[in-house]
Structure 1
Amino acid sequence: MLFHVAMEVRLPPDMPADQANDLKTREKAMAQEIQRAGKWPQLWRVAGRYANISIFDVADADELHTLLSALPLFPYMDVRVTALARHPSAI
Structure 2
Amino acid sequence: MLYLVEMDVNIPESWSEEKLQDYITREKACSQGHQKSGKWVYLWRVAGKYSNVSVLDVESPDELHQIISSLPLFPYMDINVKSLCKHPNAIRETMI
State the TM-score, normalized to the length of structure 2.
0.92
Aligned to 1:48: 48
Looking at structure 2, the residues matched to 41 and 56 of structure 1 have their Cα atoms a distance apart, in angstroms, of 5
Give the aligned residue type for 1:34.
H
1:49 is displaced (CA, Å) by 0.3
Distance in structure 2 (CA, Å) of the matches to 1:69 and 1:40: 13
* 1:60 equivalent in alignment to 2:56: no
Report SS of the residue matched to 1:42: strand
Following TM superposition, by how much is the alpha carbon of 1:89 offset from its aligned partner in structure 2, in angstroms?
1.0
| Secondary structure of 1:72 counterpart | coil
How many residue pairs match? The answer is 91
**C-alpha distance in 2 between matches for 1:12 and 1:52:** 18
Gaps of 5+ in 2: 92-96
Give the partner amino acid of 1:81.
Answer: V
Give 3-state SS (helix, strand or coil) of 1:68's partner: helix
- Residue 94 of structure 2 is matched in structure 1 by none
Q: Check if 1:16 corresponds to 2:26.
A: no
SS in 2 for 1:81: strand
Distance 2:66 2:2 in 1: 15
Shift of 1:78: 0.5
Residue ranges of structure 1 left out of the alignment (5+ in a row): none
What is the SS of the residue equivalent to 1:22?
A: helix
Shift of 1:17: 1.2
2:90 aligned counterpart, secondary structure = coil
The root-mean-square deviation of aligned C-alpha atoms, in Å, is 0.6
| Identity level (%) | 52
State the alpha-carbon separation in 1 of the partners of residues 60 and 90 from structure 2.
22
The whole-number CA distance in structure 2 between the counterparts of 1:78 and 1:20 is 18
Q: After TM superposition, where is structure 1 displaced by more than 2 Å over at least 4 residues in a row?
A: none
